[in-house]
A = this chain, B = another copy of it.
Amino acid sequence: MGTTCGLTIDPLCRYVRALVICFILLPCIQLSLGAKTRHFKWEVEYKYWSPDCVENIVMAINGQFPGPTIRAKVGDTINVELSNKLSTEGVAIHWHGIRQIGTPWADGTASISQCAINPGETYNYRFRVDKPGTYFYHGHLGMQRSAGLYGSLIVDLAEGEKEPFYYDGELNLLLSDWWHKNIHDQEIGLFTNPFRWVGESQSLLINGRGQYNCSLAAKFSSNTSISQCKLRGAEQCAPKILQVLPNKTYRLRLASATSLASLNLAIGNHKMLVVEADGNYVQPFEVDDLDIYSGESYSVLLTTNQDPNNNYWLSIGVRGRLPQTPQGLTILNYKPNSASKLPISAPPITPVWNDYNHSKAFTNKILALMGTPKPPVNHDRRIILLNTQNKINGYTKWALNNVSLVLPPTPYLGSIKYGLKNAFDQKNPPENFDSINYDVTKPPVNPNSTYGNGVYMLGFNTTVDVILQNANALSANVSEIHPWHLHGHDFWVLGYGDGKFSAENDEKKLNLKNPPLRNSAIIFPYGWTALRFVADNPGVWAFHCHIEPHLHMGMGVVFAEGVDRLSTIPNEGLTCGLTGKMFSGQKN
């Protein structure tokens, strides 16, 4: 109905109205929402690169390693046209920490949310970023994350919104580990009998840069065989210098894309105030050093309140495994000092790798900032997942409740949507293990396990608890740290404990008051971790150990919820396996 133009719509009136709509109203809507669609055209290919001063091959995006940083505002739509320029390999990219609400097909997990993108083909990742925070993205097929397929994804507050803390500037650090052995060789070793472990990484990288044959801090080392790096700054392996002004506060955004390493980060002479974890605000707490496991992200505030005549080390080192990898280093450069001015003392020493009390103390400090949504008081279902190292026909594997995950060729999102029952085991995987008789402190009495690819079908909108139960590995007196990551959701971390979880004793200790919301959580050796989430995001979601070789050894499970509520799933990502056959009229 016409308004000021009355009931008769003459051409002039129509024109004026169009003008009003086009030039006034739409931009207003745009401004008020502040939301944009951000387009990216990416090409993935291998490229020679020297991440740690030793030439090797990386999986690059648009010729860059690490891949380009995506920066967007809450409410924006990210549209990445990803072209696979590899010769023989598929590719898929996961947007780690983005829940993909309403767009489960954009989660980027090959075999789960989509077919791997074929060589020469392009896939359109289109999703909305709905929560500010520090995220990253990475390959989710084979060991392509280890190959260097990762980059930062940072979501800023919407226009006019304010963070609950103040800072003058920002520094972004994407952490990773790096092997000289190519990923194919690494991966084949995992699937070989006798088993060949990937071993410790040669280097740790900060923003894709490390030093293997030299050290930035050699002059402080008692090991005279290590030479001082002579880098001019333009090298691919030259450290990314962190330039700061004295007496300011900086937000350091930290994310760990490591394939294996659990890291500890410290900055000489400086304390850090932790304010964000996995894209969720936490109650600020101060630390001298910070543990960061694969798949985690943090923001810390750093105040440059030290002697402005000096520069300072930022170091990362390995925790949780006997470290055989040198520290990763860069320089916190107080301007106007020269970046080449070395700090006056040695870099911070990483806490002893197996000082788990240190790790637990840090982890237990992470609590939700007031105002964070609280978990439902009750759970509808509790899945207890015993993490064990096993043998299947002589091959070394990881299993959950004695099932070692092998992903099927048909993505679950399609096979569940279209009811293709031959695509995966239709039986629900086990909800529990024999908790009465299984001794988590000893190697498994019967280490045999089985392969499986069943799905935990979750009732839509139900509250699900997962208790991750650690155990002894195949060797006596060995129990490893595993950082578990959930796709499609944040979960509340209700608590950590030692030994076997006991509903009777441990239930009451769970924190329902201010548990942190996260997408990643670790289990400590011989311990358990209790998580709670609401299955309110229609789709199929991986939940897995974020140590890449562990995932490929079967350490993951698959959750599905509300797939029937998805009225349309784009077929673009489903033209493989049994969905591909179905589309082309073949019999399944």
Q: When the two chains form their complex, are residues A581 and B575 in contact, meaning their CB atoms are under 8 A apart?
A: yes
Q: Does A221 contact B (CB under 8 A)?
A: no
Question: CB-nearest residue of chain B relative to A111?
Answer: B120
Contact partners of A111 in chain B: CB under 8 A: 120
Q: When the two chains form their complex, are residues A118 and B409 in contact, meaning their CB atoms are under 8 A apart?
A: yes
Q: When the two chains form their complex, are residues B87 and A187 in contact, meaning their CB atoms are under 8 A apart?
A: yes
Question: CB-nearest residue of chain B relative to A576?
Answer: B118
From B48, B188, B552, B577, contact of A188 by CB (8 A): B48
A 343-354 to B, binary, CB cutoff 8 A, 1 in contact else 0: 000000000000
Q: When the two chains form their complex, are residues B577 and A118 in contact, meaning their CB atoms are under 8 A apart?
A: yes
Within the assembled complex, what's the spacing in Å between the Cα atoms of A144 and B87? 10
Q: When the two chains form their complex, are residues B182 and A185 in contact, meaning their CB atoms are under 8 A apart?
A: yes
Q: When the two chains form their complex, are residues B120 and A577 in contact, meaning their CB atoms are under 8 A apart?
A: yes
Distance in Å from the Cβ of A529 to the closest Cβ of chain B?
29
Contact partners of A91 in chain B: CB under 8 A: 88
Within the assembled complex, what's the spacing in Å between the Cα atoms of A205 and B318? 44
From B90, B188, B407, contact of A46 by CB (8 A): B188
Additional A-B contact list (19), CB under 8 Å, known A116-B118, A583-B585:
A57-B188, A87-B187, A88-B89, A88-B90, A88-B116, A88-B141, A89-B90, A90-B90, A111-B120, A116-B119, A118-B409, A182-B184, A182-B185, A184-B184, A571-B585, A574-B584, A575-B575, A575-B583, A584-B584
Distance in Å from the Cβ of A379 to the closest Cβ of chain B?
35
Within the assembled complex, what's the spacing in Å between the Cα atoms of A409 and B90? 12
Question: CB-nearest residue of chain B relative to A572?
Answer: B586
Q: When the two chains form their complex, are residues B575 and A142 in contact, meaning their CB atoms are under 8 A apart?
A: no
| Chain copies in complex | 2
Within the assembled complex, what's the spacing in Å between the Cα atoms of A184 and B186? 14
Q: When the two chains form their complex, are residues A577 and B121 in contact, meaning their CB atoms are under 8 A apart?
A: yes
Contact partners of A57 in chain B: CB under 8 A: 184-185, 188
Within the assembled complex, what's the spacing in Å between the Cα atoms of A585 and B571? 8
Question: CB-nearest residue of chain B relative to A580?
Answer: B575
A 130-146 to B, binary, CB cutoff 8 A, 1 in contact else 0: 00000000000111100
Q: Does A47 contact B (CB under 8 A)?
A: yes
Within the assembled complex, what's the spacing in Å between the Cα atoms of A552 and B185? 23
Question: CB-nearest residue of chain B relative to A414?
Answer: B584
Within the assembled complex, what's the spacing in Å between the Cα atoms of A45 and B584? 27
Distance in Å from the Cβ of A145 to the closest Cβ of chain B?
12
The chain A residues found within 8 Å of chain B, CB to CB, are 45-48, 57, 87-91, 111, 115-116, 118-121, 141-144, 182, 184-185, 187-188, 191-192, 407-409, 552, 570-572, 574-577, 579-581, 583-586
Question: CB-nearest residue of chain B relative to A579?
Answer: B584
From B120, B142, B191, B575, contact of A88 by CB (8 A): B142
Within the assembled complex, what's the spacing in Å between the Cα atoms of A191 and B90? 18
Within the assembled complex, what's the spacing in Å between the Cα atoms of A88 and B91? 8
Contact partners of A581 in chain B: CB under 8 A: 572, 575
Contact partners of A88 in chain B: CB under 8 A: 89-91, 116, 141-142, 144
Within the assembled complex, what's the spacing in Å between the Cα atoms of A8 and B414? 55
Contact partners of A182 in chain B: CB under 8 A: 182, 184-185
Contact partners of A89 in chain B: CB under 8 A: 88-90
Within the assembled complex, what's the spacing in Å between the Cα atoms of A586 and B573? 11
Known: A88-B144, A142-B87, A184-B46. A409 touches B119 (CB 8 A): yes
Question: CB-nearest residue of chain B relative to A577?
Answer: B121
Distance in Å from the Cβ of A431 to the closest Cβ of chain B?
27
Q: When the two chains form their complex, are residues B120 and A48 in contact, meaning their CB atoms are under 8 A apart?
A: no
Contact partners of A575 in chain B: CB under 8 A: 575-576, 580-581, 583-584
The 8 A-B pairs at the shortest CB distance, nearest first, are namely: A120-B409, A571-B584, A88-B142, A575-B580, A583-B584, A583-B583, A87-B142, A88-B89
Q: Which of A87, A552, A576, A583 has the most CB of B within 10 A?
A: A87
Within the assembled complex, what's the spacing in Å between the Cα atoms of A577 and B117? 10
Distance in Å from the Cβ of A418 to the closest Cβ of chain B?
11
Q: Which of A407, A574, A583 has the most CB of B within 10 A?
A: A583
Contact partners of A118 in chain B: CB under 8 A: 90, 115-116, 118, 409, 576-577
Within the assembled complex, what's the spacing in Å between the Cα atoms of A410 and B57? 28
Distance in Å from the Cβ of A90 to the closest Cβ of chain B?
6
Q: Which of A116, A118, A552, A574 has the most CB of B within 10 A?
A: A118
Within the assembled complex, what's the spacing in Å between the Cα atoms of A570 and B575? 16
Within the assembled complex, what's the spacing in Å between the Cα atoms of A552 and B583? 32
Q: Which of A57, A88, A575, A580 has the most CB of B within 10 A?
A: A88
Contact partners of A187 in chain B: CB under 8 A: 87
Distance in Å from the Cβ of A143 to the closest Cβ of chain B?
8
Distance in Å from the Cβ of A103 to the closest Cβ of chain B?
17
Q: When the two chains form their complex, are residues A188 and B47 in contact, meaning their CB atoms are under 8 A apart?
A: yes
